[in-house]
Structure 1
Amino acid sequence: MRTRPSFINDEAIASAVATHWLPEIAEVDYLPWGFGAHHWRVAGGDKTLFVTLDQLAPRHTAASLEAAYAGAAALAAGGLDMVCAPSPARPGRFTIDVGPGVLSVTPWLDGRSPTEAEARAPQHVREVIAALVALHRTAPPDGLPCWVPRVGPGFADELRARTAQPWTSGPLAEEARGALASHHDAIKRWTGRYVELADIAHSHRDLWVPTHGEPHNDNQVMVARGLKLVDWESLALAPRERDYSDLLDTGEADGLAPDPAMVELFALDWRLSEIAEYALWFTTPHTGTDDDRIALEGLYEELSDATD
């Protein structure tokens, strides 16, 4: 997130990291990176850690997030070198409850994420595909979460009811409400198709594989030894097409042979889950920060294909 959280300070983060991962801390720096979670760089002695604070609802419970990170650690221990896995805390868990969220850490990577243009370069796409093929061929660790639909059959009608009255939660609330209300028919159409496709996916559970969930360029880090995939909070058993959304329009993914229905399912999975999260965002108190404006832009982007 671009904006520091108001509900926890650097001292509380340092204290939790010192207690559970790194006793001697010399530096704590907030990182205005990404969108959805808060991040810090914490250093002490000869170690540097990348610290993530996830707020659970609506994407996770404490148990599902712990299972995802434990699964990533198991994949790395089993030989998948491209997995940048969380480091275990002293109690043997990978997540620590700090009140307003759940904390996890990974080793700091000396590298950088590719730009969108770099991520579309043929050689890079082939490297990503090789990493995903290796992931999808790996036996799933015990306890790995399973993908479930992010919204139910009644989502569109529930959203229509919520947008029937003015929203007063912040400066962008009414604009967001108006955008959602004006796209009710499209959201209802998308939801109906999504439920239909999700039923098809669940009828073929025997074909599901471990999937990252969001292997886009922001969750890739290029290091000296090659490609690393980070941010494994969405790790789950699912159809392999869940990981293909950013690959299929590059012209380098001919060998993947995806099922078009599953490609459509996970395009809708992304769109509808984003719409649901933005609806929640703008019905809760907000002040118009940079993150709020990025969220509003994201909402408009997901609604922009209403003729699809």
Structure 2
Amino acid sequence: MDHDVVLAADIGGTKISAALVGADGRLLRQSEIATPATEPLLEEAMRELLGSVAEGASPRAIGLASAGPIDLSSGRVSPVNIPAWREFPLLDLVGTIISGVPSVLVGDGIAAALGEHWLGAGRGVAAMLGIVVSTGIGGGLVLDGEVYLGPSGNAGHIGHVVADPAGPPCSCGGVGCVEAYASGPSMVRWAQGQGWTGPDARALSVDAAQGDPIALAAFDRGTRALARGIAATATVCDLDRVVIGGGLSAAGEVLFAPLRRHLEGFLTLDYVRRLTVEPFELGRSAGLLGAARTALPTAQLEFPIPG
């Protein structure tokens, strides 16, 4: 096993994945589990997952991408969609699993954006927003060619931009957030309230592709809110591109076609109309690769620069 590697983990509300990653972005060993519902099971799962992936290797650093909010100063995380973790000392836990190896924490939306900017759909782009549409709505910004964390490490959190102040309550405690409309669970809840009888977001995507009117309406409603958030961010940050991944992005044009249509109406200023919207190129690996990219400077490993 190559010792010039980092250990990367991507922790979300639906899944936790980990991999050994080379400085060139090669995924050398990878594993994934469903996110457990309780804190003891979460801790046990992290120990088993990281221990098994790192077995026999000597990673130079560890990159941890976690759903947020995160607290960079303390290494604690309070993911909105992982209720079992509130002010959870993630960096301390990882230090007990793999001792003596420096760890770096980053928000999962930022990690996904960084992965796509490094090796995916955002290569060479000066200003972009990466969005993960899944159990929640995560995001990350690249400005002037560099990832922008913000002072707290939570910049780009587009899921909690307000799309409608008179809208439904959000799990963050706010009202009318993009996530309350456009996440997979939010779309499913709305569709079920309209009489749709399917079980989950995957079934909703299939039914929408087959022309089910309620499923199509759910995607139209969700993408309208997402387009509002994107338009606001593009106007403030002068963006060139938005790249979108996450489980719901697998719906393809069922998601992207209404999103682009709504954006046409919301991007009214000339300087933001250049904005393009693209799917992730790295798929489910974007967050892992972004976490790895965050850890590479700490590991003192050279890596390719996007161009």
Above 0.5 in TM-score? no
**Coarse TM-score class (shorter-chain normalised):** under 0.3
User: What TM-score does the superposition give when structure 1 sets the normalisation length?
Assistant: 0.26
Report which of the two has the higher share of strand. Answer: 2
Task: Compare CA radii of gyration and give the structure with the larger one.
Answer: 1
